[in-house]
Amino acid sequence: MRIFGLAAAIITLASIFLDAGKAWAQDTKALEKSIVDMRVALDTAWVLIAGFLVFWMHAGFAMLESGLCRAKNTIAILYKNFGVVAVSSLAFWVIGFALMFGDGNSIFGTNGLFVFGADNSPAMGDAYKGVFSSLNWSGIPLMAKFFFQLVFAATAATIVSGCVAERIHFSSFMIFSFVLVAIIYPIQGHWIWGGGWLGS
């Protein structure tokens, strides 16, 4: 009877330690996953904060242009700076991001119109499966990547607005801004950052 009691105690202790070992392994995996999730969250927050700061450059450009132009044109200049952000956002969303970062050839991207397509961000490196493989080095969600690139594309158009202040019609400038952010800026960006011929 004592042998059976001793065997039962050993089996009970072994199962307790085995379960504790499994729980510890699960806790380790959960800890690793939470560390990865925290890293993605912090990286995303940093990219969005940096994007917000660049976005505020539009307000600075509006104030600079308003201060350097005649008072009678202030409303038109402010309206133009507001409108360029809207037009640039639409242009970059529809085609610009796809031309710049979509997989394609060495001249321009051919995938990802409307920022749509296969994407498993924030996966990185070889784990990334999607149509924006030139951004697989960044471990943040796709929409954060899009916003960050959008504010720079829109800023390129806003810089031009200061050069042509009081010298261009509003509709002409909006058409130019759409073409700049939808085609010109993204294609040149693809050459360098999208896997194009200048990148190597």
CATH numbers and ranges of domains, the chain? 41-193 (1.10.3430.10)
Q: Give the number of other CB atoms < 10 A from CB of residue 124.
A: 15
Length of the chain measured in residues: 200
> Could you tell me which of 179, 193, 194 has the C-alpha nearest to residue 91?
179
- 200 residues of the chain, pLDDT tens digit each: 667 666 666 666 566 656 655 555 566 777 777 888 899 999 999 999 999 999 999 999 999 988 888 988 888 888 898 999 999 999 999 999 999 999 999 999 999 999 998 888 888 888 899 999 999 988 899 999 999 999 999 999 998 888 888 888 999 999 999 999 999 999 999 999 998 999 87
What letter would DSSP give residue 188? H
β partners of residue 104? 109
Q: At what angle do helices 2-55 and 57-68 cross, to 10 degrees?
A: 10
Under 8 Å between Cβ of 162 and 65: yes
Please give the distance of CA 18 from its chain centroid, rounded to a whole number: 45
pTM of the model: 0.81
Under 8 Å between Cβ of 122 and 107: no
Under 8 Å between Cβ of 58 and 157: no
